[in-house]
Amino acid sequence: MKNLYNLICLTVVFFVAGCAKSNRGIQLPQSPVVILFENDVHCAVEGYAKMAALKVEEQARTPYVTVVSAGDFVQGDVIGSVTEGESIVGIMNRVGYDFVAPGNHEFDFGMERLQEIARDLQAEELCANFTSNKTQEPVFKPYIIVDYGGCKIAFIGLITPSTATSVIPKTFQDGEGNVAYGFNSANLFTCAQQWIDKSRRDGADYVIVLSHLGDIKEGDYPTSVEFIGNTIGVDVVLDGHSHSVIPDSLVLDKEGKQVLLASTGTRFEFVGKLELSVEGKFTSELLPAETLKDDLEIAAFVNELKEGVLAAGDRIVGYLEEDLFALDSNDNWLVRDRQMPIGTFCADAFREVLGTDIAMINGGGIRNNLYAGDVSYNDLLSVFPFGNNACTVSLTGAQLVDILEASVRSLPLPSGSFMQVSGVRYNCDASVASPVEFDDSGLFVGVRPGAPRRVSDVQVLDKTSGNYLPVELSRTYTLGGIDYNLANLGSDGMFRYTTLLHSNQGLDVDVLAQFL
């Protein structure tokens, strides 16, 4: 659990007054309005039975109950990756979700699959800033207004613009390689404001934003806190992406008015409950999932799905002598700012199985811990849930040095593009300003000529002697990894200038299994 804000007081109440109003004025609800919310579930499917039970419980005391998600629900564990989200959609439909905002990981299975998920999901997918470059219109509905007995609440969806580079960039290209979709990175606040204003003109008394922006700064991308501070007319932001636990943060908007910001952490640590009282007061509460009862019908449905999906992957594929950690006990990522044994294990697997000089795996692609003892195929699939293919490229020593520079550019801050490596070692001085340059699309361009570098003393493992030797800048090396990075411009395109030698050399999880 990270970024825990004031766990002593899990409830915040504030009166909504002085916000932008529709022409007819604020209409108070006749009965309490309850919004049950979550974010970043990442296939922790056991929590859906608790959400369903809580929904039934709240419906017993008020007719106005809505269930929403702030994104990242179809990916993160075996049950999601094996079915490309189909099982998750089935569960959410059983629970009866009303609205969702897509997270960046909803794009992991490709654009076509995303649209299939949106079609199959009974909940309405909302996103104001994911637009078609051809029409400049949102791909999904930007907002929807719900009438709760005369009180109208607008729900607006937003997604982090970092999705453009954190997901395979080809996802957003047309058949000719042109970028077909965008996320309004440069004008997110303006984009969102127009839909906030329109929802108010359409009669919304209150505005709730389902945000997958995150409250933690990543590069130059806007956070939920910055979004609030640069807009007006929003009452509540239910946030995701950063996996933060935020029960009661009040943030000032552009006019100095208080906006409620809440987030439930990740993997159903909590279920969020937002309530609008008949007096016009919003109450935010985080309910520890472990204290909630299960809806037995949903729990049985989830277990049936899990058994079917997991049975085929229960076979033992190897044995580990020690634990390998990608996350610490508080669910903080360890593989995004330092070399870790699990990163070495994954990179070693690619170097050995593919027979390359070097291998690199981005820390953001390593999604779970491995534990000492027998290791099943499902265990490995929880580490590599995305279904990437193994690839081999060639590159010069000079290109290798530049890629390492790009890998460490965010330090000391964590980054999913930080590379876990095998067959190469180097020193890094994070006190040096990063000289790495990117284009307007956020893709790697190169290293600024003549600028001081963070990376020094780069050495490559010599296969013959077993010794590490200084990198030869003009020499050609081979490097193994996943197609997300090596063929599809993932990790900000830092491998874009390498030469693809072999693609589709097997699933990433099968490389790990073969190595074990």
Domain CATH code at residue 359: 3.90.780.10
Indicate the residue among 275, 308, 341 that finishes a domain. 308
Q: Are 471 and 459 in contact (CB under 8 A)?
A: yes
CA atoms of 495 and 497, how far apart (whole Å): 6
Residues 42, 138 within the same domain: yes
The gap between the terminal CA atoms of the chain, to the nearest Å, is 31
How far does CA 227 lie from the centroid of its chain? 18
Residues 56, 121 within the same domain: yes
CA atoms of 228 and 106, how far apart (whole Å): 24
- Angle at alpha carbon of residue 80, lines to 76 and 83, rounded to 5°: 155
Quickly state the pLDDT bin for 5 (edges 50, 70, 90).
very low
Residues 209, 319 within the same domain: no
The predicted structure's pLDDT at residue 78: 77
Highest-pLDDT range among 32-46, 76-90, 434-448: 32-46
Residue ranges of alpha helices (H) inside 100-162 are 111-120
The predicted structure's pLDDT at residue 512: 95
Indicate the residue among 286, 308, 330 that finishes a domain. 308
- Residue 423: helix, strand or coil by DSSP? coil
Q: Are 457 and 403 in contact (CB under 8 A)?
A: no
Residues 282, 377 within the same domain: no
Residues 216, 323 within the same domain: no
Peptide bond into 470 cis (omega under 30): no
Structure tokens at 286: 């985080």
- What φ, ψ does residue 153 adopt, rounded to 5°? -120, 130
Model confidence over 355-386: pLDDT tens digits? 999 999 999 999 999 999 999 989 999 999 88
Residues 303, 322 within the same domain: no
Model confidence over 320-360: pLDDT tens digits? 999 999 999 998 999 999 999 999 999 999 999 999 999 99
Residues 346, 259 within the same domain: no
Domain CATH code at residue 49: 3.60.21.10
The predicted structure's pLDDT at residue 457: 98
Domain hosting 405: range is 314-515
Residues 465, 381 within the same domain: yes
Buried b (16+ CB within 10 A) or exposed e, 317-336: bbebeeebbbbeeeeebbbb
Q: Domain count of the chain?
A: 2
Model confidence over 237-279: pLDDT tens digits? 999 999 999 998 999 999 999 999 999 999 999 999 999 999 9
Residue ranges of alpha helices (H) inside 319-467 are 341-354, 377-383, 397-407
The predicted structure's pLDDT at residue 299: 98
CA atoms of 401 and 336, how far apart (whole Å): 19
pTM for the predicted model, two decimal places = 0.73
- Residue 399: helix, strand or coil by DSSP? helix
Compute the mean pLDDT over every residue in the chain, rounded to the nearest whole number. Answer: 92
In this structure, is the dihedral angle defined by the CA atoms of residues 29, 31, 32 and 38, taken in order, positive or negative?
negative
- Residue 319: helix, strand or coil by DSSP? strand
Residues 157, 225 within the same domain: yes
The predicted structure's pLDDT at residue 25: 64
Give, for 417, the enclosing helix (H) or strand (E). Answer: none
Indicate the residue among 244, 274, 308 that finishes a domain. 308
